[in-house]
Structure 1
Amino acid sequence: ASITAVLGVSVPHYWLGMVMVIVFAVLLGWLPPGGAGPGGSGDWQWTWEHMQHLVLPAITMSVIPMGIIARTVRALVADILAQEFIVGLRAKGLTDVGIFQHVVKNAAPTALAVMGLQLGYLLGGSILIETVFSWPGAGFLLNSAIFQRDLPLLQGTILVLAMFFVVLNLLVDVVQSTLDPRIAR
C-alpha cells in the first residue's frame, strides 16, 4: 500500500494520462481515447458511452490525491494508535471496533482538511488532464484562453476557480468545527 501511495504521488498527471490512453485506448481498445462522448441536443444524458469517456480522466485525476490522502491518513492513524489513551482503552478491554471509533474521531478533522485541499488542487490538475483527454471543461477553457491570449476569459476563469477553492476550504472549516468543537475556539 505504501509503494502504491508513493507512486501515486510521484507520477505527473499528464504523463499518467498519456500512458493510460496508450494502454487502454490504443493497445487494448477498451476505452475511448478522449472527448466527452457523442454530441447531441445539448442535454447531458448519463449513458454507458458517456461513462466510458469519463473513466480515464477520472482515474488519472484521482491518483495523486488518493496517494497523498492515503499517506497522510496512514501516518495519522499510526500516530494516534501509538498514543497513551489507546493503550488505556486496550487495558480497559475495549474491542477493536471501539478503538477504531476513537481513532476515527481523532483522525477525522486532519484527514478532512487534507481531503478538502486535495479536492481544491484537483482544479489545478484539471488543466492538463482536460487537455490530454480533450475534455471540455474549466481547465480546457483556461488552457485555450492562455494560448489565445484572451485575458478577460483568463481572468474570469481564474476568478471562478479561486472562488471555488475558497468556498471549498470554508466548507471544510465549517465541517471540521462541527466534528471537533475544540477547533472552533
Structure 2
Amino acid sequence: MPSFQKVYIIMGVSGTGKSTIGKLLSNTLEIPFFDGDDFHPKENIEKMEAGNPLNDDDRKGWLIKLNALAQEHKSTGAIIACSALKESYRDILLEGMENHLGFIHLEGTFELIKSRLESRKGHFMPLALLQSQFNTLEAPTKAITISISNNPEDMVVEILGQLKRRS
C-alpha cells in the first residue's frame, strides 16, 4: 500500500477506537503511529483520573507538542491519535502544516461508546467524562468521517478508500 505521505489525526471522543484504528492504519500505510495520550503532561492525566475534564488551557501545551510531532513527520507521514474535539484545537494542530495534515473523525453514538468504555480496563479516562467530551465536540467539516459501528478492519478499508478518492 503506497504511503499518502501525510500526517493524519485520528480524532473523536474517548472510546471510539482511535488507538486501534491508528495502529491498523499505520501498519497498512507503513508510517509511524503515535498515541496523543502519551504526550499529556502528568498534571492532565491526574486531572482526568480524578474525574475532572480538561479545559482549553490544560490542552494547549499538549496540542502544541502534537503539532511539533506532526511537523517532524510532515514529509514522511504519520498517524496521531488525538481527540481534537474543538475547531480551535484542530487549528493548533494545523499550524505550519499547510496541506500535509488531515483529520479522520471516528463517530459513534453515546450509548455505543459508553458500552465500550464500560468494558475497557486500564485507561485513565473515566466513564463519567464521556458526556463532557460529547458536550465539547465540534464535529469537523473537513474530515473523513467514519462510523465506529463496523469492525476495525472494515473501518480501515473504508478510510483507505476515502483517502484514495481524495488523493
Tell whether the structures are fold-level matches, with TM greater than 0.5.
Answer: no
TM-score, normalization: structure 1? Answer: 0.25
Bigger helix fraction = 1
In our comparison, the structure showing a higher alpha carbon Rg is 1
The structure richer in strand per residue is: 2
TM-score by length of 2: 0.27
